[in-house]
Amino acid sequence: MAETAQRIKAHITGRVQGVGFRHFTTTTARRLGVTGWVRNEPDGSVRLVAEGPADDLQALVEAVHEGPPAARVDDVTSSRGAAEDAFSQFEVRHH
What tens digit of pLDDT does each residue of 70-85 get?
Answer: 999 999 999 999 999 9
CATH class of the domain at 5-76: alpha beta
Task: Show which residues are catalytic.
Answer: 22, 40
Q: Which of 32-36, 57-61, 73-77, 91-95 has the lowest mean pLDDT?
A: 91-95
The pLDDT of residue 2 is 45
CA dihedral (5, 11, 67, 39) positive or negative: positive
pLDDT per residue over 43-76, tens digit each? 999 999 999 999 999 999 999 999 999 999 999 9
38 within 8 A of 60, measured Cβ to Cβ:
no
pLDDT at 32 over 90: yes
**Of 71, 95, 90, 94, whose CA–CA distance to 8 is shortest?**
90
pTM for the model stands at 0.94
